[in-house]
Amino acid sequence: MTENPFKFGTVVDGIYFTDREEEVSQISSYLKSENHLIIISPRRFGKTSLIRKILSASGRRFIYLDMQLVLTEEDFAAQLLKRIYRIFPVQKLKNYIKSFRIIPTVIMNPVTGDVEISFSPGSRDLTPLEDVLNLVEKLGKPDDKIIVVLDEFQDVFRINTGLVRMLRSVIQVHKNINYVFMGSSESMIREIFEKKDSPFYRFGILYPLGKIPETKFRLFLEYNFQGIADDPATVSGEILKITGAHPYYTQQLAFMVWELMNRKGLEQGMLADSAADEIVRSHDNDFELLWNTLNRTDMMVLAGMAESDVSPLSDEFRKQFGTGAASTVYSTLQRLVKKGMVIRDDTGYFIDDPFFRRWIRMRRRV
């Protein structure tokens, strides 16, 4: 049986990776320079898949850490050191670790080779993190720099509000590392790297990652629907109309459409809408729980955005949906952007998840 050519929800590579040739070229070039890089994009825009593809192709040693999973200052140091053990021989690291001001507990699994590392929990001491970061610098070389990727970097504020200043004081002297900071909260990442009184002000190249161009996405969809759809161009267009070319949700809807065609033998007509409705139904409980976390103003603004393509900041929108003053709508939008429910781009504001938008419309029309 033919394998579904669309993939979502995990890191995408190989035949599942869509376009991004220009981004791959630019970021690869930046990482060969003396500069550090800051990548901003909304969640599910594919930044993790993109950077991992670039890292794999570079042939260089790298450390990737998702800051969302880091619990404390000590855990930050332990997680980084654990990843250092993956790329350097144990014997080489032993001598360096002996010089640490706080010696970690290192337990190695003799079967898998994996290590479990811990520093004194609860001390909130930044010394281990400083030592680990400086170890990476010592292991790198001017002609063989290590790439350190800190994903969802805005989470440093959650771990310790003073962590940003400490990190800058250590990182600014490193010459054998290319740092890549990635984040999905644009306002927080810009506050870290563009606010003049921030320790990381103008620390690296700022690289906003947008959507995949619709024309490129259309070609990808048409190619993968050949042989299964009578009219690949039409079905691809219907998918993109629903998802707005959002990378994650386009792959998700295309996956479902392909499944309905290949496994259930359904015909092409209106299949994208049927597949979208099936996705909405499967997430009904999730969407209901999400909706119930919102306040009344959030609900009114989102309901209006689900029903209309008019700018939520316009007089027409506020009059039609009774959302109140422009300042109220603006503050609501900023709150929803921070929650990741609304995205802002060059064209304005829109609901991030097209299936959540569809759910709102369906529920309000029952």
Q: Does pTM surpass 0.85?
A: no
Does residue 11 lie within any of the structural domains? no
Q: How many CB atoms lie within 10 A of CB 57?
A: 10
Three-state secondary structure along 260-327? HHHCCCCCCCCHHHHHHHHHHHHCHHHHHHHHCCCCHHHHHHHHHHHHCCCCCCCHHHHHHHCCCCHH
Rounded average pLDDT over 54-60: 92
Beta partners for residue 146, in sequence order: 177
Task: Answer with the one of 208, 234, 253 that is the final residue of a domain.
Answer: 208
Rounded average pLDDT over 83-91: 90
Burial class (CB within 10 angstroms; exposed 0-12, middle 13-18, buried 19+) of 88: middle
Q: Is the pLDDT of residue 267 over 80?
A: no
Q: Which amino acid is at 279?
A: I
Q: In terms of domains, do 32 and 84 share one?
A: yes
Domain count, the chain: 3
Cβ contact 274:244 at 8 Å? no
Domain holding 48: CATH number? Answer: 3.40.50.300
Does residue 2 lie within any of the structural domains? no
Does residue 64 lie within any of the structural domains? yes
Cβ contact 171:179 at 8 Å? yes
Domain holding 349: CATH number? Answer: 1.10.10
Q: Is the pLDDT of residue 122 over 90?
A: no
Per residue in 158-173, pLDDT tens? 998 889 999 999 999 9
- Any residues with CB less than 8 A from the CB of 256 and at least 6 apart, and which? 275, 276, 278, 279
Does residue 15 lie within any of the structural domains? no
Q: In terms of domains, do 308 and 232 share one?
A: no
Q: In terms of domains, do 88 and 218 share one?
A: no
Q: What is the extent of the structural domain holding 41?
A: 20-208
Rounded average pLDDT over 34-58: 91
Task: Determine the pLDDT at residue 366.
Answer: 66
Q: In terms of domains, do 105 and 176 share one?
A: yes
Does residue 80 lie within any of the structural domains? yes
Q: In terms of domains, do 51 and 193 share one?
A: yes
Does residue 93 lie within any of the structural domains? yes
Task: Answer with the one of 282, 305, 334 that is the final residue of a domain.
Answer: 282
Q: In terms of domains, do 173 and 315 share one?
A: no
Provide, rounded to the nearest whole percent, the portion of the chain with pLDDT above 70: 94
